[in-house]
């Protein structure tokens, strides 16, 4: 007669702690990959925080931020009047086709269509977002 649970099935079901540990590791890897991609694709125009000079608006606290709301930044009328909030979905659409998503924006087309690359960059943007809007100390 076959055993009800094979040792393999048991081995897959039992460990709880290693699963939690590896989730943390995945998150760290995603943030690190996102930081590298941000450096390559976005950093030449965007600083992560207000202490660095940047041609585009700094992206600190961008997730959940109202579009066009960074103090004293000279936005295009299109972005300023858009009335949107930067949710992860809006940021994906923006990375994929920013000038199609928002005609009239002055951000040059970036065209990041790969959903995995978008997810990495989002993980990084999440890591530089505090929910209460306070500045991130580095």
Q: How many CB atoms lie within 10 A of CB 107?
A: 19
How far is residue 68 from each of residues 25, 26, 74, 115, measured CA to CA in Å?
Answer: 34, 32, 9, 25
Task: Report if residue 111 touches ligand HEC, rule: CB under 6 A.
Answer: no
CA-based end-to-end distance of the chain:
61
Q: Are 42 and 124 in contact (CB under 8 A)?
A: no
Shortest Å, Cβ 94 to ligand HEC: 6
Q: How many CB atoms lie within 10 A of CB 57?
A: 23
Number of residues that bind ligand HEC (CB under 6 A): 27
Nearer to ligand HEC, 72 or 132 (CB): 72
Task: Report if residue 94 touches ligand HEC, rule: CB under 6 A.
Answer: yes
* Alpha carbon 57 to chain centroid, angstroms: 15
Q: Which stretch binds ligand HEC (CB under 6 A): 2-10, 11-19, 20-28, 78-86?
A: 78-86
Task: Report if residue 33 touches ligand HEC, rule: CB under 6 A.
Answer: no
Site residues (CB under 6 A) for ligand HEC?
Answer: 41-42, 44-46, 56-57, 59, 62, 67-68, 70, 75-76, 78-79, 86, 91, 94-95, 105-108, 110, 112, 121
């Amino acid at each position: 007669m076959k055993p009800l649970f094979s040792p393999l099935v048991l081995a897959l079901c039992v460990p709880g702690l290693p699963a939690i540990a590896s989730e943390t590791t995945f998150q760290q890897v995603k943030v690190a990959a996102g930081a590298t991609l941000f450096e390559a694709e976005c950093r030449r125009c965007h600083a992560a925080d207000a202490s660095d000079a940047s041609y585009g608006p700094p992206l600190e606290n961008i997730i959940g931020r109202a579009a066009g709301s960074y103090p004293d930044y000279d936005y295009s009328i299109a972005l300023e009047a858009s009335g949107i909030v930067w949710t992860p979905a809006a940021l994906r659409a923006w990375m994929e086709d920013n000038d199609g998503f928002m005609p009239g924006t002055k951000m040059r087309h970036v065209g990041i269509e790969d959903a995995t690359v978008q997810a990495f960059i989002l993980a990084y943007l999440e890591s530089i977002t505090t929910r209460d809007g306070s500045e991130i100390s580095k």
